[in-house]
Amino acid sequence: MLLAVDIGNTNIVIAVHDGQKWIHSYRIYSDQRKTSDEYFVVLESLLSHSQLFKHDINRAVISSVVPNLTRSMQKNIIRLFDVQPLMVDHRVNSGLRKETIPAELGSDLLANLAQAHFACPDHAVVVVDFGTALTLATVDCDGSVLGVSIAPGLVTAVNALFGNTAQLPQVELKIPPSVLGQNSQDSIRSGIMYGYAGMVTTMIERVEQEIGKEVYVIATGGLSRTIAPLIDRINQISSMHTLDGLKLIQELN
């Protein structure tokens, strides 16, 4: 079985694929203060609770945008399963045209684009990832990486409001009953949900204007299903899209 690890700025997502489907997934907080031994205890507990043992995992792949946690996770996978994980970077075979991959492209975005091109090889694709950051990454039908747009994520924006204003409350993000909020919570929901929906729609349209063709849009990330009803340009929601990309890259290398 394959163990895939996606280390992000807010969460580390760990998932196990049995060759047919993802059978387990876990989400833990990205804490750079934790030692390698502390992460070992967390990983061992999660996996043993799911009845996964050393002999079950024979392949592993890691994507990380948090350098301080990369080595810790790599070492613990070797320690737990005696498997050397594939570390995703620009040198791996991703199915994309390497000469078009920007030097600063994160490994999570590389996985997103690789999976998008694999799944929709006849279309230009925009992958909208609703994570800590909101990212829109575009790949052309020939596997060329066309570029990325980055904005603060929805939760990041709400936390900024909550942390920098005295009277605005922390809120759960969901679609409000009206764009015209009648209380603080619905007013924030309106601004964030409808505002971000409009921004994503506009960004997709601008991408199409620049490249001169229509794009296929894949949404992923924690809030993709929540906001999707407001964005009619989304063609597909793929909650495991980044992990599918990591699985693809592991198989290509």
Mind telling me the catalytic residues? 108
* Residue 153 to residue 133: CA distance in whole angstroms: 4
* C-beta separation of 145 from 102 below 8 A: yes
Identity (one letter) of the amino acid at 156? T
Identity (one letter) of the amino acid at 179? V
* Residue 82 to residue 143: CA distance in whole angstroms: 34
DSSP string over the chain: -EEEEEE-SSEEEEEEE-SSSEEEEEEEE--TTS-HHHHHHHHHHHHHHTT--GGG--EEEEEES-HHHHHHHHHHHHHHHS--PEEPSTTS--SS-GGGS-TT--HHHHHHHHHHHHH-TTSEEEEEEESSEEEEEEE-TTS-EEEEEEEE-HHHHHHHHHHH-SSPPP------S-SS-SSHHHHHHIIIIIHHHHHHHHHHHHHHHHHTS-EEEEEESTTHHHHGGG-TT--EE-TTHHHHHHHHHHHH-
Query: Position of tokens 């063609």?
Result: 235
Taken as a whole, the chain contains a residue count of 253
